[in-house]
């Protein structure tokens, strides 16, 4: 980030030792097939959009299928009832940095929600975004989903709400230990301009039959799909065209109020 440039998103480490967030990667952490990484621009862009968030430690949970379960943070040597639990030493660490009115209010690490169907997990981080920007919290894009649970997606308006970066997960298996591995990305956080998901914009859509496609769109179809195959064969035509367009747009119009920054590559 250039001097004087305000950050789009700021992560505050609240649990000492929590792995640092990282820019998401075009190759989805090295898991995209080589051909997809080189030529599938949609997969590359989706993979690299945002930041990887890691758990502060590895642990296991065994859900009983109903109202509770057990958890272990020592490779299964010891198991403890799981309802609501604090991260080890987190209360003292939090109180050491929090001002007076906030002391004693450290977020819980793991919490079964009121209906006992979901587990809320705190990552050990707080987040703040630039004015007008929220975060989409989701599972990592294009990474193989871990066995036994799925991450629920949510949008948090972190330019006004300040607090723990957490998510809810839904178990898909019961009565077996489920591993939460802090060496692999747990979440992907993506900054969104709030105007993007405003109801006024989202309801602005139409549905048409193919007969309503205007000539200029048929021309775009010809240029997008037919020309690269028939008239001007070129491998990765879409990827190359899209990358050139993004580079040109970024140089001309960086995100509002900020200087242009170099493009991200893995």
Q: What's the length of the chain?
A: 266
Instruction: Answer for the pair 74, 44: CB distance below 8 angstroms, yes or no.
Output: no
- The answer on 34 and 119 residing in a single domain is yes
Residue 106 DSSP class:
P
Q: What is the pLDDT along the chain (266 residues), one digit of tens a residue?
A: 454 568 999 999 999 989 999 999 888 877 777 777 777 888 888 888 999 999 999 999 999 888 788 999 988 899 999 888 999 999 999 999 999 999 999 999 999 886 767 899 999 999 999 999 999 999 999 988 888 999 999 999 999 999 999 999 999 999 999 999 999 999 999 999 999 999 999 999 999 999 999 999 999 998 888 877 776 666 666 666 766 776 776 666 555 545 444 444 44
Task: Answer whether residue 265 is part of any domain.
Answer: no
Q: Are residues 227 and 179 in the same domain?
A: no
**DSSP structural state of residue 184:** S
- Answer yes or no: is 257 within a domain: no
- Do residues 120 and 175 share a domain? yes
Number of domains in the chain: 2
42 and 174 inside one domain: yes
Residue with the two structure tokens 């990305």:
185
Phi-psi region of 241 (alpha: psi -120 to 50; beta: other; left: phi over 0): alpha
Please indicate, yes or no, whether residues 114 and 237 belong to a single structural domain of this protein.
no
- Determine how many CB atoms are found less than 10 A away from the CB of residue 87: 22
Tell me how crowded residue 186 is: count the other CB atoms within 10 A of its CB.
21
Please state, as a whole number, how many other Cβ atoms lie within 10 Å of the Cβ of residue 34: 8
- Are residues 190 and 233 both part of a single domain? no
Q: Let me know whether 240 and 128 are in one domain.
A: no
Half-sphere exposure (Cβ direction) of 103: Cα atoms closer than 13 Å: 6
Which positions ≥6 away from 177 have C-beta within 8 Å? 60, 61, 62, 72, 76
| Domain boundary pick from 179, 200, 221 | 200
d(CA 243, CA 226): 20
Residue 191 falls inside a structural domain = yes
Q: How far apart are CA 53 and CA 59, in angstroms?
A: 16
In this structure, the answer to whether residues 126 and 223 fall within a common structural domain is no
The answer on 214 and 86 residing in a single domain is no
Q: Are residues 37 and 124 in the same domain?
A: yes
In a domain, 260, yes or no: no
* Packing angle of the helix pair 41-48, 237-252 (nearest 10 deg): 40
The whole-angstrom separation of Cα 60 and Cα 150 is: 15
- Residues 223 and 229: their CA atoms lie apart, in Å, by 10
Residue with tokens 């305000």: 6
Kindly state whether residues 194 and 221 are assigned to the same domain. no
Q: What is the pLDDT of residue 26?
A: 82
Segments forming the whole domain that contains residue 227: 206-252
- Name the CA radius of gyration of the chain, rounded: 22
Residues 158 and 228 in one domain: no
Tally of CB atoms within 10 A around 56: 23
| 266 located within any domain | no
Note the pLDDT of residue 250: 67
H helix and E strand count, the chain: 6, 15
Torsional sign, CA 20, 138, 174, 85: positive
pTM for the full model?
0.83
Q: 89 in a domain, yes or no?
A: yes
CATH number, domain of 38, equals: 2.70.40.10
Give whole-number Cα distances, 235 to 222, 225, 228, 230, in Å.
Answer: 16, 12, 8, 12
């Amino acid at each position: 980030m250039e001097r004087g440039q305000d950050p789009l998103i700021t992560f505050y480490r609240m649990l000492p030792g929590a792995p640092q967030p990282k820019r998401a990667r075009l190759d989805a952490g090295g898991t995209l097939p080589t051909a997809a990484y080189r030529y599938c621009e949609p997969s590359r862009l989706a993979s690299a959009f945002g930041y990887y968030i890691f758990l502060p430690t590895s642990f296991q949970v065994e859900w009983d299928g109903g109202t509770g379960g057990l958890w272990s943070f020592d490779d299964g040597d010891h198991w403890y009832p799981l309802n609501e639990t604090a991260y080890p030493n987190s209360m003292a660490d939090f109180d050491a940095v929090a001002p007076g009115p906030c002391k004693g209010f450290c977020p819980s690490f793991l919490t079964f929600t009121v209906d006992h169907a979901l587990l809320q997990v705190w990552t050990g981080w707080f987040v703040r975004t630039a004015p007008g920007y929220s975060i989409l919290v989701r599972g990592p894009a294009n990474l193989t989903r871990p066995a036994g649970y799925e991450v629920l997606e949510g949008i948090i308006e972190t330019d006004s709400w300040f607090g723990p970066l957490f998510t809810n997960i839904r178990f898909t298996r019961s009565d077996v230990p489920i591993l939460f591995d802090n060496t692999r990305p747990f979440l992907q956080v993506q900054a969104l301009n709030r105007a993007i998901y405003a109801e006024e914009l989202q309801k602005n859509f139409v549905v048409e039959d193919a007969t309503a496609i205007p000539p200029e769109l048929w021309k775009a179809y010809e240029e997008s799909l037919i020309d690269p195959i028939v008239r001007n064969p070129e491998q990765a035509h879409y990827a190359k065209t899209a990358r050139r367009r993004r580079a040109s747009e970024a140089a001309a119009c960086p995100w509002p109020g900020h200087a242009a920054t170099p493009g991200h590559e893995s």
